[in-house]
Structure 1
Amino acid sequence: MKISNKIAILAATSLAILSACDKKTSFVEPDPVSEDTTKTKYIVTVTPANSTGVADYILEVDSLHKGSISILGNGIEQEGTYRYYVTHKNKFFSMLYGQGNPGAVTTYGLNAAGKLTKISNFQSETVQTFAPMKDDIVLIKIPRSGTNQTANFFRVNADKQEIVGTADHDIVKLAGNGERAHFTWATQFGDKLLAPYMSIRGLSTDAFGTSFPDSTWVAVFSYPDLRLEKIIRDNRTASIGAYMNNGLAVDEQGDVYGFSPASATEPHPTELGPDGKTKLTIQTTTKPSAIVRIKKGTTAFDQTYFFNVQEKSGGHHIANQTYIGKGKFMLNMYGAPGTVAYNNTRKLAVVDVYAQTFKWVTGLPEVITSFTTRYNITSDDAKVGYLGVNTPDGNYVYAIDGETAVATRGLKVEGGNITAIQKLKY
């Protein structure tokens, strides 16, 4: 990107921001936090059924535990097709993925009556990473092929709603191996910004292929100047996270845990899939899907800690994670990459990263079309995780108990598939 064009985009964006199986079991409401007089409103986004080329509806509900809600006659109909979300500083940001073109970013908040209200609407470049960091949201635009090898970082202050800083990084130089560093996400770790990345070839015919499937990298950036301080490396598992998929989470003790799907594949040289046209893939990673740790106050992987989740699960891989609290995580799991089980096996588990225990979740429907992934939430007491479960027989919010790994069915959502669950206070 030319500097003059970038300045123009940033100026325009800043101005725009400124202007603008189902067994039902009883659910026990979590105990309210003492002296907390705030109320919670839950945000549920839904993709309409039997529709293509349309964006999610945004619904607001008072409880995830019971009742039903439909998109018919309810909610906010968004524009565009692909929408991605982040909640920070009690604001809900909805981002249109423009597939290379600029996309709209709409910010919502709750008024005094608990009604979801639009705060601002502006255009930004399409980005592949958007993560909370202190008072900001960090946006990262990452080119995956072509001649451009510069990742653009933007700091958007969530309170002021304006761009307050930028930085550029050469992703080929950062990778240092002839490929590109493609950031999977970013996470605040103390006063540092951690950005794990995959090494990818970045070719027009093979963007996400790699010759380095057995390594782990996390870039460490200072904040707020976003200067690259170092790269943390390991080779006990593979890259952390996946494309637009957060693989890092910080616990209450200030330690950060990294989740690797170990999912790198290449096209099979000869074998074709069921359609007789598409080549099957073969897994190239030799490392297991596992969890690693970086201790608070350090910038190196803890060599005393390694949680082999693939082994504990009988060969499954981590698709994504949601932190419940107190060392408990919900994990969306799938079968081995490059096999039929990759697409046909979707299961949910709860792990305790402290005790390194693994439990399959019980109480879910036998046939599941999809789970919500990167947009799940937990209860205020850090005991229960919530996610959307879409099935051929209906779509529901389920509560997952972090101790027992038992799923309890709650709110029914009619009219489409659940894609995100978030919460705001008022």
Structure 2
Amino acid sequence: MKVFTKKIVFLLSGLIVMYSCGSDDSTSVSDETEDPNFTQKFVIAATLGTSTYMLTSDQLDSGNTTITGNGLEVGRVFTHFINYKYQSLSGLIYGQGGTYAGYTFVLGSNGRIQKLKGEGDMGFQVSNYNTVGNFGDYMIAARGAQALADGTTGAVFSFIQQIGTNLSIVQKTLHTDNITGNGYNPTISGIVDTGNGEFLTALVTPEDPDKVYVLALDADLNVKRIYTDDRISYSAGRWRSAMYSQLAMDDAGNTYVFSGSYETTTTKPAGALRINKGATGFDQDYYYNIEQASGGYRFRKVFHITEDYFLLEFYNELQYENISPASQYAILKMDTKKFTWVRTGLPSKEQISATGWPLSYEGKIYLPVTTLNEQPTVYVIDPVSATAKSGLVVESGGITAVSLLKKQ
């Protein structure tokens, strides 16, 4: 597989400007007392209008906070977030086609949120991505089915380095013409680090909706193996042209390959297969018919919580379209195939108007929820009991993510 690479280095003392605007659009609006004794801070990306307010808190389980006079204001609303080993948090802005904005946030020595930037800079830029994830010392933003410089079609991977004194991006491309031998040119979804110098990404194949394909790639995008099976459809959640990863690893190193069975043309129900740690193929003894367990519902997003517990975001109706609401949730214990709807403690699916990217922490998952008639709230979900309770309330327009950063 021939791979082309292109390296673009963004020095923190003088990065390339992301948009045509000429000035930095972030403003510190906090007058809070410095905290020299902190060890970590929870981070809340709260929004109002077209701005995001990066707030910090010592806990998420209760209390109140506000964007008024608080946090770091950034004149953008992010669609994706990637946390790099609790050292940095990057927010990205996705749109259909073109070049996208990325901003990296860290904790300063005083415990306040800071944005990595150079003089007059507004962040970094990533070309052509619709899926993101971590791999080794990099965060990867990638997109498939792209026209390459040599006239072929392939996937473009931006390796964003988040260590050292420089913020750098290495762009690599992978030819995908007929990569599975079925004549199609798929796009991709998901980035899962297997911990052995390889990562997994799923192929999205609408023309071949009754099979799943997962690539194992190394850092140079050499294809180490292709996992394939016909018990589920392709592995990807979708909203417009964005892809949501349905690949996820448990604490034991096993990778669960979920499929929300998105395509109406597939004959396969929404379900999951398993790649055992170090295995070169799917576990033929493991198959989970999630659609049957849910009573016929299909799902869009997958989040690992702890051990082999996962939170799945389901469409609200049995029949759905690309932009249909998906605001009901279930806990799945994958090894025993136990399925439980989260009905206690969460607002009803009819009340929920938006949710953000959650944080899994110390055996719980913290899900930011915006409803029609209450302030945005972080809900704490216990996977064992499959119950939720109201946590931190944030006076704002919404919450797009909660995360955690630790003192460096």
What range describes the TM-score normalised by the shorter chain of this pair?
0.7 to 0.9
Task: Name which of 136, 139, 159 aligns with 2:138.
Answer: 136
Q: Counterpart of 2:98 in 1: which secondary structure?
A: coil
In the aligned structure 1, how far is the partner of 2:91 from the partner of 2:322? 33
Which runs of structure 2 are paired with 1:267-306 in the superposition (5 Å)? 283-306=264-287
Contact 1:17–1:122 (8 Å) recurs in 2: no
Letter in 2 for 1:220: A
* Cα deviation code 1:134-184 (max 9, x no counterpart): 111123243468976222223222213444754321223324333321111
Q: TM-score, normalised by structure 2?
A: 0.82
In structure 2, the partner of 1:75 is 71
1:334 and 1:342 in contact (8 A); partners too: no
Could you tell me how far apart the structure 1 residues matched to 2:325 and 2:215 are?
34
Which residues in structure 2 correspond to 1:340-379 (within 5 Å)? 343=324, 346-361=327-342, 362-366=344-348, 367-372=350-355, 375-379=357-361
Q: 1:18 to 1:358 in 2, by over 3 A?
A: farther
Report the CA distance between 1:19 and its aligned residue: 4.2
The alignment status of 1:93 with 2:90, answered yes or no, reads yes
Alpha-carbon deviation of 1:308? 1.0
Task: Give aligned pairs, total.
Answer: 367
Q: Deviations over 1:27-53 (max 9, x none)?
A: xxxxxxxxxx973311112332xx4xx
* 1:151 maps to 2:155: yes
Q: Structure 1 stretch 326-335 or stretch 170-179: which is displaced more?
A: 170-179
Q: Distance in 1 between matches of 2:215 and 2:64?
A: 44
With 181-190 and 139-148 compared, the bigger mean Cα shift is at 139-148
Answering whether residue 55 of structure 2 is matched by residue 59 of structure 1, we say yes
1:241 to 236, 243, 248: 236
Question: For 2:113 and 2:101, how far apart are their aligned partners in 1?
Answer: 18
State the one-letter code of the partner of 1:43.
Answer: V
2:179 to 174, 180, 186: 174
Matching residue's letter, 1:363 = G
Identity fraction in percent: 28
Structure 2 equivalent of residue 188 of structure 1: 193
Cα pair distance change 1:123/1:211, threshold 3 Å: closer
CA–CA separation in structure 1 for the residues paired with 2:323 and 2:39: 41
Contact 2:353 2:372 in 1 (8 A): no
CA distance in 2, matches of 1:87, 1:384: 17
The 1-side partners of 2:332 and 2:270 are apart by: 13
Spell out, residue by residue over 1:173-220, the C-alpha distance to the aligned partner (whole angstroms, 9 max, x if none).
324333321111111013211001211xxxxxxxxxx33211111011
Q: Which residue matches 1:420?
A: 401
Per-residue displacement from partner, 1:369-396 (whole Å, max 9, x unpaired)? Answer: 24535x211123xx21110111112221
Q: Identify if the C-alpha distance between structure 1 residues 45 and 69 changes in structure 2 by more than 3 Å, giving closer, same or farther.
A: same
- Indicate which of 208, 221, 233 corresponds to 1:226: 221
Residue 127 of structure 1 corresponds to 129
Contact 2:90 2:102 in 1 (8 A): yes
Question: How far apart, in 2, do the equivalents of 1:397 and 1:135 lie?
Answer: 30
SS at match of 1:311: helix
Tell me the equivalent position of 1:259: 258
Gaps of 5+ in 1: 21-36, 200-209, 265-282
* Structure whose residues are more often strand by fraction: 2
Q: Say whether the 8 Å CA contact 1:16–1:123 is kept in structure 2.
A: no
The question of whether the paired residues in 2 share the 8 Å contact of 1:239 and 1:262 is answered with yes
Aligned-residue Cα RMSD (Å) equals: 2.7
- Give the gaps of 5 or more residues in structure 2: 16-36, 118-122
Query: Does the CA contact (< 8 Å) of 1:240 and 1:258 recur in 2?
Result: yes
**Is the CA contact 2:54–2:113 (under 8 Å) kept in the aligned structure 1?**
no
Amino acid at match of 1:57: Y
Check the 8 A contact 1:216/1:240 in 2, yes or no.
yes
Matched with 2:366 is: 386
**Aligned match for 1:103, one of 100, 107, 121:** 100
Equivalent in the alignment of 1:31: none
**What SS does the aligned partner of 1:310 have?**
helix
What is aligned with 1:276?
none
Alpha-carbon spacing, 1:416–1:405, altered in 2? closer, same or farther (3 Å): same
Q: Secondary structure of the equivalent of 2:368?
A: strand
Taking a change above 3 Å as real, the CA distance of residues 103 and 134 of structure 1, as seen in their structure-2 partners, is: same
2:200–2:215 contact (8 Å) kept in structure 1: yes
Q: Aligned partners of 1:405 and 1:303: how far apart in 2?
A: 29
SS in 2 for 1:172: coil
Cα distance, 1:340–1:164 mapped onto 2, change above 3 Å: closer
For 2:18, the equivalent position in structure 1 comes to none
Greater mean deviation of Cα atoms: 386-395 or 167-176? 167-176
Query: Structure 1 residues 16 and 226 mapped into 2: Cα distance closer, same or farther (>3 Å)?
Result: same
Kept in 2: contact 1:257–1:293 (CA 8 A): yes
Give the conservation status (yes or no) of the 8 Å contact 2:10–2:168: no
For 2:178, what is the secondary structure of its paired residue?
helix
- Partner residue in 1 for 2:28: none
**Letter paired with 1:114:** G
Instruction: Determine if contact 2:38/2:111 at 8 Å carries over to the other structure.
Output: no
Go from structure 1 to structure 2 and tell me whether the alpha carbon gap of 1:18 and 1:289 turns closer, same or farther (over 3 Å shift): farther
